Amino acid sequence: MTGKAAALGREPGLGGLAIGAVLSVLVLVWVGSDGYRQTLVTAAATYALVALGMYVPYLMAGSLSMAYGAYAGIGGYAVGLLSTKTSLPLVLAWLLGPAAAALVAVLLGLVTRRLSGFFLAAVTLLFGMAFTAFLVDAESVSGGSGGLGNLRELNILGWTPSHYQVVVGSVVVVCVIAFLLDRARLSAWGVIVRTMRDAPRAVEASGVRVPVMNLVALALGAAIAAIGGGLFTYSAGSVTPDTFTLNIVFLAIFMPLIGGGGTPWGAVAGAAIAVELTLNFPAIETSGTLVLALGVLVILLIAPRGVIGYADQLRRRGWALSRRGRDG
Amino acid sequence: MAEDSLLHGRGLIKRYGGVTALDDVSFHLDAGEILGLVGPNGAGKTTLVDLISGAQAATAGELVLRGGKLSGPASRRARAGLGRTFQYPQLALELTVRDNLLLGRAARRHATIWRMAAGAVLGALRPHPPADREAVEALAGELGLDGLDRLAGDLTLGEQRLVEVGRALGQDPVVMLLDEPFAGSDAQGVLGIAEVIRTVQRRGHAVILVDHNVDLVADLVDRIMLLDRGRVVFDGDPRECLASPQMQVVYFGSPPEAEELDQETGQIGQEAQDVRS
């Protein structure tokens, strides 16, 4: 794929962006002024950003950190704190939140640098739980279990975006980050990170310090998840310790697998499917997670490489059939 | 030992608990030289390569490359000028041959944490700089590697070894460490890899070549170092090594009989060698 794109002189990642942009426009048209649909899309964008954050260390570098609820929470509380405790421009929260989340990810990565697999997942899971407990206890900072509410509205040089514009902004941010990650995945940097998953000794022997690159991947992923947390908090108008629980992490693990295709767009597609199945599926209302579990099973049975992988397979088959038809 | 050599090691010891894998090993490698490292299983060949490359830490001893102390993790030593291949090829099997070759070239641009972070941004902005593309294709051409868009997991073992050599050459190393590059290859593959080793030498790289196949190594190298149970038992001319009593003891377990020794050189005679083989 990399080589072919290069050989054809095409800009890598543009195909994914084009499809993502078209689908996004269709979704935004479907949303319109419907408040419930706007909430659904904001939730999907948040899930997508958490899943995109996890994509970098988990699917590219092969390191399963489960602290992404905490990173999204840091982004969310950055918006909440800046809004309620300071008079600083609120837009700064999307700089400070991701920076703080990246710093925490680096510190946690340093502490857990000798762990991998199950033990890394277990320790980072504990960290996520401890973070939630901290938010409940640190009442003077976080507002305790009631969280932070009555948040200020964004004011960018006198312009305050409407709720629909925030939804559009969320979708645009998801598309831009997925596009940039896709290009980074195909670049030399991406080759190094992806080789770390299967052949870390080769990366080390080539001159890249694997534990340090792992920290960079963790920091990048945490920053992306924090952007999502900030968007969700702003859109909801409040944040509590229960806003970013472990649920979101478990869902985010499955999203790239459902979406598949080995690209960041798979995480985005997976997030859209997860939100549809858990929150908008016309079945028994309280059984969203059960529907998602069944949906994941069905999707992975029919399409082990995820929805995008399956669509790609169909496209290739159709292309081969049409060529055979032309030749015959 | 030549202190002014390109790479030298002095008093290298590696112990695993009570087991001594390398026992006071010293060696040197001159610029442009191919040094063969031979010995039976468990002799300590791969351990020595691991100590040099930094994959394992030595219990004692020191290494010097181009007059500077060689220490720290494998990544630092790679940047100092060491390239290596592995006994079992270490490739990203889900990536293409092109991407695996690119790793060697790209790694030098990601030496520090800031460069790694900047690499993500630059990669997103400009995924395929033409210089990278051209360098990888030139390297592949030199090694006779085609089908750069094939997945590394679809390659034969011999082809995977070639990709590893190419990846290491991409680093433009001063010294190449080739750990059993012929293992698992058929006759055709052995010839191909032997030709690649000659190419590596023609490019001016010094090479440490590790393998079981003593005859093959002797044909390719300038000097041989024979290891047995963690100690150097012979260091010198390849032909002399093949005919040496040490070789007989290491590989056949018994010293040559007096009548098998050449009266002038003290080494085992050709006739006796033929009988033993």
| Predicted confidence (pLDDT) per residue in B66-84, tens digit | 999 999 999 999 999 999 9
| Band (A282; pLDDT cuts 50, 70, 90) | low
Convert the pLDDT of each residue in A68-116 to its tens digit.
999 999 999 999 999 999 999 999 999 999 999 999 999 999 999 888 8
Convert the pLDDT of each residue in B225-277 to its tens digit.
999 999 999 999 999 888 888 888 887 776 656 555 555 555 555 554 554 44
Angle at A62 between CA A61 and CA A64, to 5 degrees: 115
Q: Which range (A286-295, A319-328, B112-121) has the least confidence?
A: A286-295
Mean pLDDT, all residues of chain B: 87
Residue B149: its pLDDT value, please? Answer: 94
Residue B217 maps to a domain: yes
Residue B139 maps to a domain: yes
pLDDT (mean) for A43-67: 91
Residue A316 maps to a domain: no
**Residues forming beta bridges with residue A238, ordered by sequence position:** none
Residue A229 maps to a domain: yes
ipTM: 0.86
Residue B264 maps to a domain: no
Q: Which residues of A touch B76 (CB under 8 A)?
A: 209
| Band (A5; pLDDT cuts 50, 70, 90) | very low
Residue B167 maps to a domain: yes
CA distances from A125 to A136, A210, A249, A270, A296 (A): 17, 23, 9, 22, 22
Residue B261 maps to a domain: no
Residue B255 maps to a domain: no
Nearest to A205 among B53, B106, B110 (CB): B53
Residue B257 maps to a domain: no
Residue A286: its pLDDT value, please? Answer: 59
Cα-Cα-Cα-Cα torsion A111, A107, B123, B83, nearest 10 degrees, comes to -40
Residue B182 maps to a domain: yes
- CA–CA gap between residue A68 and residue A227 (Å, rounded): 12
Residue A295: its pLDDT value, please? Answer: 82
Residue A3 maps to a domain: no
- Closest of A103, A71, A85, A111 to residue A232, by C-alpha: A71
Nearest to B91 among A180, A199, A216 (CB): A199
Instruction: State whether residue B57 sits within 8 Å of chain A by CB.
Output: no
CA distances from B52 to A210, B2, B20, B91, B175 (A): 18, 17, 17, 21, 10
A window 216-255, beta carbon within 8 A of B: 216, 219-220
* Portion of chain A with pLDDT greater than 70, in percent: 94
Convert the pLDDT of each residue in A198-248 to its tens digit.
999 999 999 999 999 999 999 999 999 999 999 999 999 999 998 888 888
Residue A257 maps to a domain: no
Q: Which range (A283-287, B37-41, B143-147, B230-234) has the least confidence?
A: A283-287
Residue A300 maps to a domain: no
Residue A325: its pLDDT value, please? Answer: 79
Convert the pLDDT of each residue in B48-59 to its tens digit.
999 999 999 999
Convert the pLDDT of each residue in B156-195 to its tens digit.
888 899 899 999 999 989 999 999 888 877 787 788 888 8
Residue B151 domain boundaries: 7-242
CATH number of the domain to which B71 belongs: 3.40.50.300
* Token pair 């502490």: residue: A111
Residue A152 maps to a domain: yes
How many domains is chain B partitioned into structurally?
1
Q: What is the pTM of this model?
A: 0.86
Q: Which residue of A has its CA nearest to B50?
A: A205
Residue A167 maps to a domain: yes
Residue A38: its pLDDT value, please? Answer: 92
Instruction: State whether residue A212 sits within 8 Å of chain B by CB.
Output: yes
Residue B271: its pLDDT value, please? Answer: 54
pLDDT (mean) for A266-273: 92
Residue A74 maps to a domain: yes
Residue B3: its pLDDT value, please? Answer: 66
How many domains is chain A partitioned into structurally?
1
At residue A7, does pLDDT exceed 50? no
Residue A110 domain boundaries: 13-245
Q: Report DSSP state, residue B71.
A: -
